[in-house]
């Protein structure tokens, strides 16, 4: 009787161990499947993608083959919208009275998390014959660029604001944004900014691509209408403007 009981216990433990091993193996395969899905979606390139965007795509694809960073990147940042990328160059342009000799192409690729309805970051790539530079720009970095409305040849918070309103419009169709940080409105000196008022901006002409600038990255010509909603109490919206 004792021998039979020991045999049953041993068989039970053996089956339990086997079940745990199978569960772990299935879980690992499931995790790998999800990770593979991350990469598959990340590297899904739309038809008629611009050659410059394809070049950036190839660079990232090769880097991921070496370091396998895409799965963790998607969890933190989201997916790229390759088809909404903006490509421009400074060849032959003249800005602020200076002729441009920069032969590089600049590519801006928006990113958003799967369930979000706003662009949280953009990959900015300088493609030059001798060098390629990649930089991530995040929407919550705007304040680090300063609010000097007289600056025309450097990055400012307003430029960053324009970048993300541009992409929010292109990717999600948003054309109105609530201003959470009123310092962005320094560029509108005619406004009498009230501390307890809520302000919003509405795009009155669709953002256009292909603009050039004498600095990195760009100058926007998008037109905005600024509205004062009065004292609305607690401000809502996505940093920095909508």
pLDDT digits (tens, 9 = 90+) for 184-223: 887 777 777 777 777 788 876 655 544 433 333 344 444 4
Q: What are phi and psi of 228, to 5 degrees?
A: -110, 115
Determine, yes or no, domain membership for 190: yes
Structural domains counted in the chain: 1
pLDDT higher than threshold 90 for residue 6: no
Closest by alpha carbon to 195, among 187, 183, 211?
A: 183
Q: Across-strand partners of 122?
A: 110, 137
Residue 35, pLDDT > 50, answer yes
Which of these, 106, 133, 50, 44, lies nearest to 80 by C-alpha position?
44
In a domain, 17, yes or no: no
pLDDT score at 225:
53
Please give the sequence-ordered ranges of beta strands (E in DSSP) within the chain, or none if there are none. Answer: 79-80, 86-89, 94-95, 98-99, 105-112, 121-127, 132-138, 176-179, 199-203, 224-228
State if pTM tops 0.75: no
Contacts 24+ apart (CB under 8 A), 189-195: 189/149, 191/226, 191/228, 194/228, 194/231
Q: What percent of the chain shows pLDDT beyond 70?
A: 62
pLDDT at 233: 37
How confident is the model at residue 241, as a pLDDT?
A: 42
Model confidence at 139, pLDDT cuts 50, 70, 90, reads very high
Does a structural domain hold residue 143? yes
pLDDT of 235 > 80? The answer is: no
Q: How many CB atoms lie within 10 A of CB 15?
A: 10
Q: 180 is in which domain, residue-wise?
A: 36-228
Other Cβ atoms within 10 Å of 240 Cβ, number: 22
Q: Is residue 183 part of a domain?
A: yes
Mean pLDDT of 101-119: 88
Q: Is position 76 within any domain?
A: yes
Confidence label for 161 from pLDDT (cuts 50, 70 and 90): confident
Q: Tell me if 136 is assigned to some domain.
A: yes
pLDDT at 66: 94
Is 101 inside a domain boundary?
A: yes
- Can you read off the two tokens belonging to residue 209? 């691509």
Residue 119 lies in a domain: yes
Average pLDDT of the residues in 72-94: 83
Residue 239, pLDDT score: 42
């Amino acid at each position: 009787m004792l021998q039979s009981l020991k045999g049953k216990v041993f068989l039970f433990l053996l089956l339990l161990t086997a079940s745990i091993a199978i569960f772990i193996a299935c879980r690992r395969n499931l995790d790998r499947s999800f990770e593979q899905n991350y990469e598959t979606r990340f590297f899904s390139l739309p038809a008629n993608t611009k050659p410059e965007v394809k070049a950036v795509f190839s660079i990232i694809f090769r880097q991921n083959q070496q370091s396998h960073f895409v799965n963790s990147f998607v969890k933190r940042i989201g997916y790229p919208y390759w088809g909404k990328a903006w490509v421009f160059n400074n060849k032959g342009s003249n800005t602020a009275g200076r002729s441009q000799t920069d032969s590089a192409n600049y590519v801006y690729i928006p990113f958003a998390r799967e369930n979000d309805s706003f662009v949280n970051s953009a990959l900015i790539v300088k493609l030059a014959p001798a060098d390629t530079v990649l930089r991530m720009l995040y929407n919550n970095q705007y304040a680090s660029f300063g609010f000097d409305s007289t600056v025309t040849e450097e990055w400012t918070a307003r430029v960053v604001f324009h970048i993300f309103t541009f992409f929010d419009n292109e990717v999600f169709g948003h054309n109105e944004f609530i201003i959470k940080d009123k310092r962005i409105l320094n560029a509108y000196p005619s406004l009498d900014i009230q501390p307890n008022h809520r302000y919003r901006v509405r795009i009155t002409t669709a953002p256009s691509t292909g603009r050039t600038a004498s600095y990195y990255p760009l100058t926007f010509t998008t037109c905005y209408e600024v509205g004062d909603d009065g004292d609305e109490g607690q401000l809502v919206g996505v940093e920095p403007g909508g």
